[in-house]
Structure 1
Amino acid sequence: MGKRIKKIAVFFSLLFFITHSIHTQDTGSQTLSQIITNIQEAYNIQFNYAEDVIKGISLKPPNKKLSLQGIVSYLENNTGLSFTLMGDNFILVKPNTERVLCGYLKGKDNLQTLPFATVQTPNSFTTSNENGFFQIKIKDEADLVTIRFLGYKTVSKPYNQFGATGCIDVYLQPDFKPLSQVIISNYIASGINKIDNGSFQIDFSNLKILPGLIDNDVLQSVQAFPGIQSVNETVSNINIRGGTHDQNLMLWDGIKMYQSGHFFGLISMYNPHITQTVSLRKNGSDVSYTDGVSGTIAMQTEPEVNQVFKGSIGANLTDVNGFADIPISASSSIQIAARKSISDFVETPTYTAFFDRISQNTEVASNTTTITNADKTFDFYDTSLRWIYNISDKDEVRVNFINVHNQLLFNENAVVNQQEESRDSKLSQNSIAGAIHYKRVWNDRFKTDLEIYETDYKLKAINVNILDSQRFLQENIVSETSTKLKVSYKLNDRLQLLNGYHFVETEVTNLDDVDNPLYRFLVSEVVRTHGVFSQLGYKTLNNQTNLNLGLRYNYIGKFGKSIWEPRLSFNHRFFNHFTLEILGEFKHQNTSQVINFQSDFLGIEKRRWQLSNDKDIPVITSKQISMGLNFNHNDWLIGIDGFYKIVNGITTQSQGFQNQYEFDKEKGSYDVTGLDILFRKHIKKFNAWLSYSYMNNRYRFKDLEADYFPSNYNISHTATMGVTYALNNLQLSGGLNWHSGKPTTHPVFGNEIIDGKINYEDTNASNLNDYLRLDASAVYNFKLGRKTRANLGISVWNILNKENEINNFYRVKDESIMETVQKSLGFTPNAVFRAYF
């Protein structure tokens, strides 16, 4: 009984003590209004504030021994308000706009803390510590906070949406992307990286500047890599390790595209302001990819929902363009981009140079002596859209749309029966495509991706002949539908399994229609392909070794043909600074571009798409292996990569012969042995690189010649040198491009014509003159306002105005030989202004 009384007494004593302490604290606190009144009387100073700013704030009065500055500091530290001394007797009180966001980063799948994640605002940057804790200063409630951690979805939202009251827990959603990471950053220049799966990536959000380019051009930029070039300076004829352009798989957010450029190849048709990254694969493709026996260029828009509106408008000497990223809700945002040529309003020196380049040696530039071409106009535009909606933490839908248009129009004028007549000839090129992607993360190990797209391409030309009262209509149409399901399963932290199914239906239509005399030739074919694939990805826990090993099975129902395609990419880092890479792949494709006649489509766009028939137009297949070694240390990068590739099923029509084989229709193959070398050095604000490529590219057409002979794309030696310099807001870049001349076939000197035909030497036994081009560019960044920035840039393509030979051919006229030489772009300036908001 006595013990119980003692416990009760102790309990009430503690209760009295706590109550007394709270009462003492309460009686020791005063409202901020009272404290300010006392300070004003004691220090003869005036406070200026809005009543609602200090309403409801109470605290202990500051120590009377403090100085006025000490009292101001005390009030700021204990109220969260800003007290600014204005002059000698006036203090301004206002809300403190600088806040601190702090918390612990955790994975939503396993609740484990995430150390060394990056946390960024427009003005600050930090990383979480080993316990996942982070703390970062916030200047404005609307400041965008971005949190990134490998293997998890990026969180990007304004500070005021975190609901921060003290330090909080922030949960990141797992993102089961392929186990890939950057192994060499700034591979050539800032924003260009090498990935451990064998691919290269250009991140346009970080890409600074490249020689001759001021507005990022997607397909011009990829030509910065060794082994990638264009024999005629166009983005519609990009050659990856000696292949033709139609052997490249072009993907825009997973949609296969059959058109590449504006101005019929001088400008990329893919708007760089909505395209965030470009991935280039020369070998070792993922098993989910089909087509592209020479390589893959995959463009990707921003994969995350944006919470804050951002946009840009700009103009250069070829077009005006705009971009907007519009948040719809916390879980949805839409991106829209558009470009339109300015040739309707003004003809700039850039436009003139481009027009002269595409029209040289064509009917557009010159007609017969009795026909005059007039009112030549060219117009292009493109629109792109990307919408993302996060249905839930596990479900995401993405919708894409793209529409691209080019049109060339001119009048043909002549005097017929003593009367002037005029008729229009025109050439149009259009692509329109749409896709829907649905991704679901079922749990921390299992994810599915469903991709469905429809892509359509149409090339149409109307060529009139006034003297013969004739209209010639040509059309080339491609329509393709694709459905792909990918299933990813994470076996453990080192192994990931990818399985899937892919169905593709491709229809190609070609039309030749003449009204006088009546003639109509229409061919429309369809090929359907089923593909099943599986790939195992392995990565060591220390990220030193990465292996992707896969197999794809394809069945082409129309031909009853089965094609097995193994794929390999292996990457191993050793001795800290060295990386060994081995890549290999088998691939196939059912479509190719051919040239029936050099005068097709007014001579400007000679190539038309066609489908394989497994007879005279075979299914194209390729085998490729490569091995590379990279050394990266102390801002030095040295890379060397050797490769061998063989491609079967090509035709003479797809290779652009303009010699004795121009009208032959034979099947054959080519093989390429080559070496790519890169040196790059970064010194403070300077970045310099030198690349060299060697290639031996040979044809084998058994029905034409018994032996191998040089390919039309055998550019044996290529060298590129570039330098960039950054000084505060100014970026400068210059570069030199050189390569040996394109192979050509000359007539035999002294015996040029036999029986009215050209007597050619051995096929491709000669070369055009070497190609040399010097380019430069400069961009200056500046602010237009508190939230608006801008840049102003100028560039010059071919500063030396060197007339490089990019092609030539011979014809017989009046029993004599006439040579036609096609020249590259001459001195071509450009300028850009762009504002970001």
Structure 2
Amino acid sequence: MSKASLLSIFFLPLFLNVANLKAQTIQKDKQLLITILKALEEKYNISFSYADESIKNKKATPITDDLTLEQALEFLKLETNLDFELLNNRFVAIKKAQKSDGLFNTQRLEEVVINNYLTSGITKLNDGSLTIKPETFGILPGLIEPDVLQTIQALPGVLSVDETVSNINVRGGTHDQNLILWDGIKMYQSGHFFGLISAFNPYTTKRVNLYKNGTHAKYGDGISSVIEMQLPDTIDNEFKAGLGFNLINADGFAKIPLSKKTELQISTRRSITDLINTSTYNQYFKRIFQDSDFTKSKSSDNSISQNESFYFYDVTAKFLYDITKKDKLRVHFYHVSNELNYDEQSTINDRNEALNSKLTQRNTAIGVTYIRDWTSKFSTTSQIYVSNYDLDAINFDVLNNQRLIQENEVFDGSAKIDAIYNPNQQLKINGGYQFTEVGISNLEDVNNPDFRSYIKEVVRSHAVYGEINFLSNNAKTRLNLGGRLNYIKKFDMLFAEPRLSFSQRFLNHFRFEILGEFKSQTTSQIIDLQNDFLGIENRRWILSNNSTIPVVKSKQLSGGIHFNKNKFLISAEAYIKNVNGITTRSQGFQNQYQFVNAIGSYQIKGIDFLLNKQFNDIISTWVSYSYSTNNYTFDELNNGEPFPNNADIQHAVTFASTYTKNNIKLAVGLNWHSGIPNTEPSINDVPNDEVITYASPNGSNLNDYLRLDFSTNYDFNVSDNVKATIGTSVWNILNKRNIINAYYTLDSDNAINKIENESLGITPNVSFRLKF
């Protein structure tokens, strides 16, 4: 018998089988591949691993119920021209079929450990990071839209002690210890409305990565976390646009193909608060401006504020140019602004006087990125950027005939090159270099009494890094091992920063992970509560000077175990973090240490626990619990003995549930945590000595915090090409009066007054969106 005949006998059954598969499904309409993959994951109890771009917009005919897993994968391979590799009885790797010229995307395959973590669009990867995709985001209680920085606060170990996105505490750290990157560019302003709204438009954000520990070596700074936002980076020659509004702002975005090789992405958002007053705005206004110069002057008998005007806006743009199959150019632009103006009027000696006070807060950034695929296994990414933060304030006190000018400016310029070598699917080698120059200036100018202070510091740093990532053939073991060397020429200091991420799956449904890292940063924020910007914005960026303001350094280690089967997740992570080089000025003390300049450290130990159950992709219910102890140590304070951190929240519980069916989404959630530490006046305080005598620092706690939230969305089609979404939400349904801060002052009679800052009361919101 000839070879041709033998081959025919061997391949003919396979050909007939595939043809039969094709015939069984040919009558069905095609669906998005991602929808089919989700159905297969549930049916066969498997998990697909893939790069997002490899399956984007791919469609296939739905799989019939009588096929085996192997038959289903073979059918999809023919339908999509993708390779489906069954690594074992549970994991399937999807990758683009290799082209004849050997060129393909060198993006490394990442195994998805947990899909739909809490809700759709949130994923946990096997390197310990969490990924949020706003485009496929489901719904969370109290959020009317997928606000990036509000969403991450739903994750265990992340919260804000004062409900703002400009004060996010990741495992007990301060907000300035979070590295916030927008398309690789460092951001110094994170919020609108002084922290109640994220400054980053979720509808132009493709992906958000959150690293709480085990950060990749390419990331410097951010000793508590890295929050990395990525815009779409591929040209698909498809026009997309959207418009929307809620009771705070209106926005629009567009993704515009200019040619086969170029694309423009633009977005803008602006508040409507200076045009119309809404119930949502009134609650935000009350929350932010309580206990400020603005509201104090309104309540004064001799002075009133009028003609107040507050608004914010942001603009983003990204230009994509695929020069060749191997070369890509990207240009990034970002601008965010908050503006507050008000007139303060007073009658002095029978004469009316009115002066205008104002506060402006801006962050502008521009960057250029060049990507080169040298071969099918080696690529480089080069980027240069400039990020500029500027806060200007002029505050007039007409009663005291005083004018205060304050400015805080940050200039951050960086150049970096990153190289990736993928010899095979199991190994990835990453390395690079980054140069950064940061200059920060602070100006304070008072006319009565005459005083002027201007301080500027500049720090230049060089960093080299390298990392090896290993993924076993069966996808059970993953190891990221790397290190970063930072050199600061001004201080002649070299920092070695090892990084570790290890993940091991066992017994099919269990996974153990261990994460560790050393980090350092030269930028931080001081909080001047007595001499701040109008009593509203009290955080100012400063640079380390290696004396009174040291370089902040951290060491962190965590271990976790996760069980995931049949959409039932049990997760527990224990961690310990030590941070050295903090200053009292960066912690916001409002007790006996308010005017003390001291250098110290804090240590936090804790555990994050999560229980999550999903029912038929319709209902997702979870409860999370975090326990931690977070203590300061300052050699010069409290006799050198540890005392509770200002952000020491020992217990935090979240219980929530979401419902998604057809076009309706519902979410309800309860948040509870123990009150933050507080320092009370001593019972032995001497009256009329014009000084408050305090008890032990942070020796007591405020009352517990409790908040119930609700939100709902409804999607419908306006036409074949236009989709609409109506949403409503209610924050703090029970209108619970939560005290989020308390401090003490002396009045004119030397009596002690207790000042309490309240959280948001019941706050409704409504939104409407159109997508084209």
State the TM-score, normalizing by the size of structure 2: 0.88
The C-alpha deviation readout for 1:491-535, integer Å capped at 9, x for no partner, is 333222111111110000100112344322111110000001111
The C-alpha deviation readout for 1:411-450, integer Å capped at 9, x for no partner, is 1000123111111111110010011111111112211111
Q: Which residue of 2 aligns with 1:279?
A: 209
Q: Which residue of 1 aligns with 2:347?
A: 415
Q: Distance in 2 between matches of 1:750 and 1:178?
A: 65
Q: Secondary structure at the match of 1:305?
A: coil
The C-alpha deviation readout for 1:765-785, integer Å capped at 9, x for no partner, is 100000000000010000000
Q: Distance in 2 between matches of 1:189 and 1:172?
A: 38
Q: Percent identity?
A: 46
Q: Compared with structure 1, are the counterparts of its residues 425 and 151 closer, same or farther at alpha carbon in structure 2 (3 Å cutoff)?
A: farther
Whether 2:69 is the aligned partner of 1:134: answer no
Amino acid at match of 2:552: I
Q: Which residue of 1 aligns with 2:288?
A: 358
Contact 2:344 2:354 in 1 (8 A): yes
| Equivalent residue in structure 2 for 1:834, among 752, 755, 769 | 769
Q: Which residue of 2 aligns with 1:746?
A: 680
Alignment of 1:292-441 (within 5 A): 292-367=222-297, 368-441=300-373
Q: Which residue of 2 aligns with 1:815?
A: 750
Q: Which residue of 2 aligns with 1:4?
A: none
Alignment of 1:467-616 (within 5 A): 467-616=399-548
Contact 1:100 1:135 in 2 (8 A): no
Q: Distance in 2 between matches of 1:315 and 1:509?
A: 37
| Equivalent residue in structure 1 for 2:630, among 691, 697, 710 | 697
Q: Compared with structure 1, are the counterparts of its residues 152 and 563 closer, same or farther at alpha carbon in structure 2 (3 Å cutoff)?
A: farther
C-alpha deviation, 1:208, in angstroms:
1.0
How many aligned positions are there? 705
C-alpha deviation, 1:135, in angstroms:
3.2
Q: Distance in 2 between matches of 1:733 and 1:338?
A: 28
C-alpha deviation, 1:268, in angstroms:
0.2
Contact 2:440 2:541 in 1 (8 A): yes
Amino acid at match of 2:663: N
The C-alpha deviation readout for 1:798-817, integer Å capped at 9, x for no partner, is 00001100000001221211
Amino acid at match of 1:395: D
Contact 1:151 1:175 in 2 (8 A): no
Q: Distance in 2 between matches of 1:124 and 1:335?
A: 32
Contact 1:753 1:759 in 2 (8 A): no
Q: Distance in 2 between matches of 1:101 and 1:227?
A: 35
Q: Secondary structure at the match of 1:302?
A: coil
Q: Distance in 2 between matches of 1:797 and 1:693?
A: 22
Q: Secondary structure at the match of 1:222?
A: helix
Contact 1:152 1:176 in 2 (8 A): no
Gaps of 5+ in 2: 1-28, 34-50, 64-70, 82-91
Q: Secondary structure at the match of 1:600?
A: coil
Q: Secondary structure at the match of 1:429?
A: strand
Q: Distance in 1 between matches of 2:677 and 2:442?
A: 31
Q: Secondary structure at the match of 1:134?
A: helix
Q: Distance in 2 between matches of 1:117 and 1:386?
A: 22
Q: Distance in 1 between matches of 2:102 and 2:657?
A: 40
Q: Which residue of 1 aligns with 2:670?
A: 736
Q: Secondary structure at the match of 1:205?
A: helix
Contact 1:545 1:572 in 2 (8 A): yes
Q: Distance in 2 between matches of 1:688 and 1:292?
A: 32
Q: Compared with structure 1, are the counterparts of its residues 100 and 799 closer, same or farther at alpha carbon in structure 2 (3 Å cutoff)?
A: closer
Q: Which residue of 1 aligns with 2:22?
A: none
Range moving further from structure 2, 509-518 or 263-272: 509-518
Q: Distance in 2 between matches of 1:266 and 1:752?
A: 40
Amino acid at match of 2:254: A
Q: Distance in 1 between matches of 2:347 and 2:30?
A: 79
Q: Distance in 2 between matches of 1:310 and 1:657?
A: 48
Q: Which residue of 1 aligns with 2:154?
A: 224
Q: Compared with structure 1, are the counterparts of its residues 132 and 686 closer, same or farther at alpha carbon in structure 2 (3 Å cutoff)?
A: closer
Q: Distance in 2 between matches of 1:628 and 1:752?
A: 51
Q: Secondary structure at the match of 1:671?
A: strand
Contact 1:596 1:663 in 2 (8 A): no
Contact 2:598 2:636 in 1 (8 A): yes
Aligned alpha-carbon RMSD (Å): 2.5
Q: Which residue of 2 aligns with 1:725?
A: 659
| Equivalent residue in structure 2 for 1:688, among 621, 636, 640 | 621
Amino acid at match of 1:743: P
Q: Which residue of 1 aligns with 2:4?
A: none
Q: Which residue of 2 aligns with 1:640?
A: 572
Q: Compared with structure 1, are the counterparts of its residues 483 and 248 closer, same or farther at alpha carbon in structure 2 (3 Å cutoff)?
A: same
Contact 1:752 1:817 in 2 (8 A): no
Contact 1:306 1:326 in 2 (8 A): no
Amino acid at match of 1:832: S
Amino acid at match of 1:341: S
Q: Distance in 1 between matches of 2:575 and 2:31?
A: 53
Contact 2:426 2:472 in 1 (8 A): yes
Q: Secondary structure at the match of 1:653?
A: helix
Contact 1:629 1:640 in 2 (8 A): yes
Q: Compared with structure 1, are the counterparts of its residues 325 and 465 closer, same or farther at alpha carbon in structure 2 (3 Å cutoff)?
A: same
Whether 2:696 is the aligned partner of 1:762: answer yes
Contact 1:688 1:724 in 2 (8 A): yes
Q: Which residue of 2 aligns with 1:87?
A: none
Q: Distance in 1 between matches of 2:96 and 2:688?
A: 71
Q: Compared with structure 1, are the counterparts of its residues 182 and 752 closer, same or farther at alpha carbon in structure 2 (3 Å cutoff)?
A: farther
C-alpha deviation, 1:397, in angstroms:
1.2
The C-alpha deviation readout for 1:176-212, integer Å capped at 9, x for no partner, is 2345331111111111110111100111111111100
Contact 1:628 1:639 in 2 (8 A): yes
Q: Which residue of 2 aligns with 1:661?
A: 593
| Equivalent residue in structure 2 for 1:465, among 385, 394, 397 | 397
Q: Which residue of 2 aligns with 1:157?
A: none
Amino acid at match of 2:770: A
Q: Which residue of 1 aligns with 2:66?
A: none
Q: Distance in 1 between matches of 2:404 and 2:62?
A: 63
Q: Compared with structure 1, are the counterparts of its residues 556 and 121 closer, same or farther at alpha carbon in structure 2 (3 Å cutoff)?
A: closer
Amino acid at match of 1:378: F
Q: Distance in 1 between matches of 2:431 and 2:572?
A: 33
Q: Compared with structure 1, are the counterparts of its residues 117 and 416 closer, same or farther at alpha carbon in structure 2 (3 Å cutoff)?
A: closer
C-alpha deviation, 1:576, in angstroms:
0.8
Q: Secondary structure at the match of 2:194?
A: coil
C-alpha deviation, 1:725, in angstroms:
0.5
C-alpha deviation, 1:575, in angstroms:
0.9
Q: Secondary structure at the match of 1:748?
A: coil
Amino acid at match of 2:631: R
Q: Compared with structure 1, are the counterparts of its residues 117 and 824 closer, same or farther at alpha carbon in structure 2 (3 Å cutoff)?
A: closer
Task: Give runs of ≥4 in structure 1 deviating > 4 Å.
Answer: 98-102, 116-129, 148-154, 169-173
Contact 1:153 1:175 in 2 (8 A): no
When Rg is computed on C-alpha atoms for both structures, the one with the higher figure is: 1
Q: Which residue of 1 aligns with 2:558?
A: 626
Q: Distance in 1 between matches of 2:518 and 2:349?
A: 62
Q: Distance in 1 between matches of 2:484 and 2:80?
A: 47
Contact 2:30 2:62 in 1 (8 A): no
C-alpha deviation, 1:755, in angstroms:
3.4
Q: Secondary structure at the match of 1:353?
A: helix
Gaps of 5+ in 1: 1-97, 103-113, 138-147, 155-168
State the TM-score, normalizing by the size of structure 1: 0.81
Q: Which residue of 2 aligns with 1:70?
A: none
Q: Distance in 2 between matches of 1:99 and 1:227?
A: 41
Q: Distance in 1 between matches of 2:314 and 2:526?
A: 26
C-alpha deviation, 1:824, in angstroms:
0.1
C-alpha deviation, 1:727, in angstroms:
2.5
